[in-house]
Every structure is written in C-alpha cells, then in structure tokens.
Amino acid sequence: MDFDAFETELMTIKQKDPTLARRLWSYEQGGGLDTTIVEHEGVIYLGCNDYYMYGLDPKNGRKVWEFKTTGCINTIEPQIHDGVIFFGSYDNYIYAVEIYTRNVVWKFKTGGIADSSCAVSDGVVYAASRDGYIYALDEKTGHEKWRYKTGDIITTNLTVFEEKIFSGCFDGYLYCIDKNTGREIWRFKTNGNITNSHKFLIVDRIIFFGSHDRYVYALSVDKGAEVWRFKGGGGFSTTPALLNNMIIIGCRDGCIYAINKDSGHEVWRFQGQMKPWGFGTPKPLITKKSICASSSASRVYCLDHSGKLKWEFKTEDCVWCGPHYHDGKVIFGCEDCRAYAVDEKTGEEVWRFHSSLAAQKIPYVEDNFSPYEMEVRKSEDDTREGFEDDRYKINFGGLDGLSDSEYSTRSEYVHKSEYTNHSDYK
C-alpha cells in the first residue's frame, strides 16, 4: 500500500455550546459500594464493585448475608418480592436469588451491562440493559415475555405506574410503555441523557425527572404533555424527592434545588462542593427534620427543610449511593470501599463496614454527561485558496443513526413547552 498517497492534517478542536453527548465507562474490579440501599426484614442490602451483593445489620454494620456474581454490581437498586431479591450485574445478567437459601432461582442474560434497576409487578420482572432493551420476564421462571428496543444505552430505575412502565435512556427520551404488551404509549424528547438511580417521582399524575440537558421536567403521565421545565446550572442525573409542596433534587453544578412542584419556580437552593460532578446520581433522603444528600465531592450533606446546612460528613471518595434512614441513622455506601452509618442529628459516625477489597478502582468516566458541540478550527498557517470553514464543522446534535424501536419509531406525543423558564440560569 502506498501510504504517501494519504494526506493528514492537524486542527484545533475545542468544546463549545451544549447539544448532546454520551458517557464512556470502564470499570475494573474494586470495592466501591455504589448502589441504592434497600431494607427488608431488618437487613439492608446493597451491591458492590467487588461482585458481591451484601446484606448488613443496620444497627451495627455487621455482615449477615452475601451473594457473589461474576461482575460489578453498580448504581442499581435491588428489588425484593416474595423472599427473592432481583438485581442486575456488569456480567450482563439479571439475577433472581432466594434470600433465605441464597440459591439462584433464575438468571437472564441480556446483551449488555445490566446496571438498571428492575421493577416487579403482577408476576412480571421488568429489567433493562445497556443493550438498549427493556425486558419483561416471568417472575418465577425468568422466561422472556416481550422486549422493547429503545435508541441507546439504558441505565435507569424502571418505574411501574398503573399499567405503564417509565424508562429513561441515553437517547434523550423518557419512554412510557404498556407493561402488558411492551408497546410504546408515548415518548418525550429532551436534549440529554436521562438516568435515574431511584424510581421516578409521580405525584397527582405528574412525573418529575431530570435530564443531562440541565432541565428538570414535569409531564403528564397520561400523554406526556409538558407542564413545566426548570433550568439548573448543570445536568441532572438524579431523581427528585418530595417535601411538602416542593421537589428536592441535586444537580451536577453542586447545588440542591427546592422547586415548587406545581409551578416549577425555585424556592431555594443550597450550594455545596461542585467538583467533580456535584450531587451526582443519588436521590436526596427526606426525614421529618432533615434533607440528606450524597455528593461526588466525597461528602454527605444534611440540611434542614429550609435548605440551611446542619452538618456535613467527609469520606475518602465519591458517594454515589443515596442515603438510607434507619432508627436515627443515615446509612450510605461510598466509593472508598466502605458503608457508613452516621447520626442524623450530629453527623457523628456510628459504624462503618469494609467491603472485601480495601483498594477501590476508580471508573474512567469521560465527563460528558453535559451535552456539547465540537468546533474544528482552521490553523493559523493554513493559506489555501478557496478555504471553506463549513468543511470543518462537526455536528453532534442529531440522533439519526440510532436504532429504531421494533414497535414504533415516531410518537405524536412529543411536546414543546410553551412555558417560560423559572430559573436564574437563563
């Protein structure tokens, strides 16, 4: 081959205004505890990057149960129903494990990493994977009933409401699917990835969720019509919590926002540490007197209901695990390979649990949760005649190359909002 026939040239590339991006991951085995905690019959369950699902005594942090898979268990929320725990793993499998015997009832292999959370309803387990599919599986046998194809990676917490399933996706859509047939009811388009580590918040037939396009949305669950949207200073990759007439949500700009759930107006905000990704993925914990929120800045913050800081607890690494409340204690896992329990009133440590590996492996995450546009500039010494700037423009804004759904590729229920933005970020 004559390589002299090829031409190459170097150009300057810079990050510009937001449009759309996708996140790249690479996990190695480590001991970080990053999943949402679920409590069942006096035991708290949380997954770990060392491949284990752990069961701990919430009073003292003692390990009372464990089950090992062949991949990391990360970002999911285990689901427990009729004595069986359901969860996904980085080994691509969905597991159904009997808690009392630790026997595998069944496992179902997907086409990608299974770090979305299952939902169990009416004898069916609904699961999703980074292969872009939503699956309906028989709760007893794991046999597939149907599958629905989205346009990209799914890392979500599937949420069942009445006869509907809601799922976020990296293609920017919130999907509403018929839980019995797997057919699309509607979809709503945002301009960023939609990920949520907890169930979507649904109040008065309105579903609330955030997107990496920097907006929080309120939609009708029936037809996907937009009620309002709120703009923050960074992407939203977490689920809001309800406090009286407000929704409380963390943002990648390092703020916790309180938003009026009816109007979308900001009530107050708390500014925490921004780096590296602010209030990452966990849903805030609401107690009778406190708001507790985990942060990627290696902290857990505790606020009163007006947004004033009560205390903060410093860890040795990012806290992706949402706080869990048990008998006056705030419990959470951390990327530093520990789970912590701290006193809700004082923020003092009560106990800590170490996973099987002492040293964590930090995932490589290219920070492109925030959408972007690329611009390629002509070099200063380029003196060619007839130079056209247009030939150097790169557009990342389209989704034309994404796979189509086998059921529907277009929805009539994609609405544009007529409402104005109720945020300081304009």
Domain-wise residue ranges, the chain: 11-392
User: Which pLDDT score, from 0 to 100, does residue 277 have?
Assistant: 66
Please calculate the CA angle 341-342-347 and round it to the nearest 5 degrees.
165
User: Which pLDDT score, from 0 to 100, does residue 155 have?
Assistant: 92
The CATH architecture to which 11-392 belongs is 7 Propeller (2.130)
Say whether pTM exceeds 0.85: no
* Token reading at 253: 């700009």
Helix, strand, coil % over all residues of the chain, rounded to 5: 0, 40, 60
Instruction: Judge whether 190 and 217 are in contact, CB under 8 Å.
Output: yes
User: Which pLDDT score, from 0 to 100, does residue 398 have?
Assistant: 36
Residue type, 420: T
392/390 Cα distance (integer angstroms): 5
Q: What is the CA radius of gyration of the chain?
A: 22
Instruction: Judge whether 141 and 150 are in contact, CB under 8 Å.
Output: no
Instruction: Judge whether 59 and 341 are in contact, CB under 8 Å.
Output: no
Instruction: Judge whether 331 and 44 are in contact, CB under 8 Å.
Output: yes
> 8: number of CA atoms within 13 Å, CB side?
3
The 3-state DSSP class for residue 386 equals coil
User: Which pLDDT score, from 0 to 100, does residue 375 have?
Assistant: 46
373/234 Cα distance (integer angstroms): 16
User: Which pLDDT score, from 0 to 100, does residue 180 have?
Assistant: 97
64/50 Cα distance (integer angstroms): 17
Per-run averaged pLDDT (10 residues), the chain, 426 residues: 45 43 46 92 95 96 96 90 97 97 98 95 97 98 98 95 97 98 98 93 97 97 98 92 96 94 97 73 91 91 97 91 94 93 97 79 44 46 44 36 35 38 47
114: Cβ contacts below 8 Å, ≥ 6 apart: 76, 88, 89, 90, 91, 92, 93, 94, 127, 128, 129, 130
User: Which pLDDT score, from 0 to 100, does residue 120 have?
Assistant: 97
Q: Is residue 50 left, alpha or beta, with left meaning phi > 0 and alpha meaning psi from -120 to 50?
A: alpha
Cis peptide bond prior to 58, omega within 30° of 0: no
User: Which pLDDT score, from 0 to 100, does residue 359 have?
Assistant: 52
Please calculate the CA angle 75-80-82 and round it to the nearest 5 degrees.
165
Residue type, 168: G
Among residues 121, 141, 127, 136, which one has the least CA distance to residue 93? 127
User: Which pLDDT score, from 0 to 100, does residue 321 have?
Assistant: 84
Strands 63-68 and 133-138, bridge-based pairing: unpaired
Instruction: Judge whether 119 and 142 are in contact, CB under 8 Å.
Output: no
152/170 Cα distance (integer angstroms): 5
User: Which pLDDT score, from 0 to 100, does residue 334 have?
Assistant: 92
